[in-house]
Amino acid sequence: MGTHRDAHIVWDWNGTLFHDVDAVIGATNAAFAELGLEPLTLERYRELYCVPVPKFYERLLGRLPSEAEWELMDATFHRYYTEHRVRCGLAEGVAELLAGWSSAGRSQSILSMYGHEELVPLVRGFGIEPHFLRVDGRTGPSGGSKAEHMVRHLGALTGVAPERTVVIGDAADDALAARHVGARAVLYTGGSHSRASLEAVGVPVVDTLTEAVAEAERLAS
């Protein structure tokens, strides 16, 4: 793994470490059904998905959802997702990649826009929590950007320099959050975005998390 012992990875959770894309698509389509919208395929979802989430809904409705519509769709999404996430697991090779990064003396953490109270026990249940300096989920309303959460997350980590930090995630917003704090980013195609939309952000794009970790090592060296 090399000798750059002070390199740090901030991992995204949903669609990155946690392979939950089937639950996400199902939850999205359940939310859409509340407004009479047709279901999306995975390919179409990846073409259209963006943050903040109300803008994603605008692409399908032709307008921003009303406050009442947003609250209904958001509640439906989270209810369906909570029911179906139990059938989801870690992405391929995650346990080995986390252990390898830690054994090389490097640090890592999780920052997710999934609710903090739900995230922590989920990570703990997979037995991987000891690999992380910190596990932070979203606090406050859902649907926003990760940038300000990233400021707080890195600010709470002792001895982690933004310029030696690489954010690994599956969404364009992960790269924007990294840029906001002066960190680097690697984007992974296994989650919410198409390769084309990820490549438009201007950071490295990979198809496996093994490649993502190798790229993170290169960027942080």
* pLDDT above 90 (res 39): yes
- pLDDT tens profile 209-220: 999 999 999 998
β-bridge partners, 185: 167
Q: Tally the C-alpha atoms within 13 A of residue 85's C-alpha that lie toward its C-beta.
A: 18
Residue 193: pLDDT band with limits 50, 70, 90: very high
pTM of the model: 0.91
Structure confidence at residue 127 (pLDDT): 97
Tokens of 194: 């198409």
* pLDDT above 80 (res 77): yes
Stretch 164-192: mean pLDDT, rounded? 97
Residue 1: pLDDT band with limits 50, 70, 90: very low
Structure confidence at residue 3 (pLDDT): 36
143 CB-contact burial (10 Å; exposed 0-12 / middle 13-18 / buried 19+):
middle
Question: Look-up: residue for tokens 């029911």?
Answer: 83
Q: What is the mean pLDDT of the chain?
A: 93
Angle between helices 147-155 and 172-181 (to 10 degrees): 50
Q: Which residues contact 33 (CB under 8 A, 6 or more apart)?
A: 39, 76
Instruction: Tell me, letter by letter, the H, E, C secondary structure of the chain.
Output: CCCCCCCEEEECCECCCEECHHHHHHHHHHHHHCCCCCCCCHHHHHHHCCCCHHHHHHHHHCCCCCHHHHHHHHHHHHHHHHHHHHHCEECCCHHHHHHHHHHCCCEEEEEEEEEHHHHHHHHHHCCCHHHCCCEEEECCCCCCCCHHHHHHHHHCCCCCCHHHEEEEECCHHHHHHHHHHCCEEEEECCCCCCHHHHHCCCCCEECCHHHHHHHHHHHHC
Distance, first Cα to last Cα, the chain: 11
Structure confidence at residue 6 (pLDDT): 78
Structure confidence at residue 89 (pLDDT): 97
